[in-house]
Structure 1
Amino acid sequence: PRFSPAGVLAPKSKADLAFTMHILSWLAVDGTAAIVEFPGVLYRGGAEQKIRKYLVDNNYIDTVIQLPPDLFFGTTIATCVIVLKKSKADNAILFVDASNEFERRGNKNALTPANQQRIYDTFVARADVAHFAKLMPNPDIAENGYNIAVSSYVEQENTEEAIDIVALNAEIARIVARQSELRTAIDAIVADLEGVGT
């Protein structure tokens, strides 16, 4: 029963959510569990979607934190943390995009104390932070097919450089004019060289 209160078992080949259900079954009513998972459990369909539906509909998921890639030995894949609680004050899930919260150390990424503090403070505050955290009501998550991938809710910061079209067009006009000058100079040199040979 502890593995199938959602009405389905996690797939044998992808048992991550089976461990999650086992942990949930042992979680005290006022307890908190934080589970490191591979990101596929956040969005895959089939039995995993039904398990997420059970977790969301019963308000067990407190927070989903997207971690940076290359944190753990043996894998470079980005992982996530699913925080479970049986007694929550609200009917929502906090999504935290901590994928850029790292410092490169040697051949691995590491969460610095400052990175950890920012994640923790956001977790405790349980409020929206532009491009970092979003508190989503469970009914909205249900409408999104029980997809709990952080990227579905936290908008990425636009890091593209703004382009000044007027300045860009002026630069193109300057380059075209210079190109024309150089062609004229090359044509004069070629004509001069052709005249020398006769």
Structure 2
Amino acid sequence: MSTSLISNPPYNTKWKLPVFAQLQPRFNDCELPPEKNANFAFILTALNKMDAKAVFILPCSVLNGGLKQEEEIRKYLIEKNLIEAVITCPDNMFESTGIATCIIVFNKHKSTTQIELIDMRNTYEVEKREQRGQYGSSSHTNRVYKKAVKVFSDEQMERAIKAIEEHTTEKDFAVSVSPEDVKERKYRLLPSAYFEVDFEPQPHREYKEIIADLNRVIEEKNGLKLTMNESLAKAIGLYEIFQAFKASEEINKAMNETLGFTGEKIIPENFIAMSKKAGELKFENGRKDSVSTILMSILQMWKQHIMYLNIEENRFLLELRDALLPDLMSGKIDIGDKNEK
């Protein structure tokens, strides 16, 4: 009787390597997972126990980059022909986190060495679900509100299953790759990295003008900084703003590395911070477990304005990206020389 499993383990959690870990069957043929992150420890443990298929739901970070040990484990999984398919999913599919995730299908009895990579980040339906507040006083825990969650329809899931079964290639959706293809990309498994991209040069504004507009929006966001207790932020629905801020930090850092040739720079964002101090909320909050009605109104207006500024910022980031890509692809910009003007 074959053994299969489906797993959605805790993401990016720390763990402790057992004594003589390398001698254990789950680890004795590959690199040991890092103690800073147990994602691959969960995977290797499952593969050691099952003899058919395993399906994991994990953060997309397992597909790309990471520590050296994680890259070596991806290499091991591919060379052993254990990965059947990878599906990248949209963000906001879970009620407790907005993080983008992926589905990895492992199969010990593959009939081919091909790996099907599917990008479903823009393939979803939106579903409204009722929830109760889970943090703070009874005024929050008794509150019922609606939350938008992204889901896959039956037709969308059938489309992905068909692509896996038939090893199809479909523009901007699915691609079937060989182990050699993955090796060329240093064992990265993000589907979008394998899609063919058509670039048609388009006229665009000067980089200086785009970045000036982008910085103007960031400066306005930075004009009001909110520092508050993390649990309280989750209770009143502001933690997602902090998550967006952290993601934006990484995007702006990457953009600045690419923009070195322009002499311009995107300024850092500094409009929100989380605190572990019980009840902390700046602008002043005198209670530890709830927020006054008046302040709730102020926070709601602030949140709506930040969302508007996020849209504006994304608009200029997209414009900047669309301006950069043709110049990068054509060789007009050589990012290898950061001092080039």
- TM-score band, normalised by shorter chain: 0.7 to 0.9
Give the corresponding residue for 2:111: 89
Aligned partners of 2:95 and 2:103: how far apart in 1?
A: 17
Which of the residues 51, 63, 72 maps onto 1:42? 63
* Alignment partner of 1:56 is 2:83: no
State which drifts further: 55-64 or 106-115: 106-115
Aligned partners of 1:93 and 1:56: how far apart in 2?
A: 9
Q: 4+ runs of 1 displaced by more than 6 Å?
A: none
How far does the alpha carbon of each residue in 1:24-71 deviate from its partner, in whole angstroms, 9 at most, with x for none? 11121xx11111111111112411001001001111111011111111
Aligned partners of 1:153 and 1:89: how far apart in 2?
A: 22
Aligned partners of 1:104 and 1:157: how far apart in 2?
A: 29
Unaligned ranges ≥5, structure 1: 164-198
Give the corresponding residue for 1:147: 188
Aligned partners of 1:67 and 1:156: how far apart in 2?
A: 20
Say if 1:6 and 1:50, in contact at 8 Å, map to a contact too.
Answer: no
Q: Secondary structure at the match of 1:83?
A: strand
How far does the alpha carbon of each residue in 1:49-97 deviate from its partner, in whole angstroms, 9 at most, with x for none? 0100100111111101111111112111110011101121111211001
Cα shift at 1:6 = 4.5
* Alignment partner of 1:12 is 2:35: yes
TM-score w.r.t. the length of structure 1 is: 0.74
Aligned partners of 2:110 and 2:60: how far apart in 1?
A: 24
How large is the Cα RMSD of the aligned pairs?
Answer: 2.1
Which of the residues 121, 125, 141 maps onto 1:103? 125
Larger RCO (CA within 8 A; separation ≥ 6):
1
Letter of the structure 2 residue corresponding to residue 73 of structure 1: E
Larger Rg: 1
* Percent of aligned pairs sharing the same letter: 28
Q: Secondary structure at the match of 2:77?
A: helix
Q: How many pairs were matched up?
A: 159
Matches within 5 A, 1:155-166: 155=196
Say if 1:2 and 1:21, in contact at 8 Å, map to a contact too.
Answer: no
Unaligned ranges ≥5, structure 2: 1-23, 129-147, 204-341
Q: Secondary structure at the match of 1:62?
A: strand
TM-score w.r.t. the length of structure 2 is: 0.44
Aligned partners of 1:103 and 1:46: how far apart in 2?
A: 37
Say if 1:63 and 1:84, in contact at 8 Å, map to a contact too.
Answer: yes
Cα shift at 1:110 = 1.1
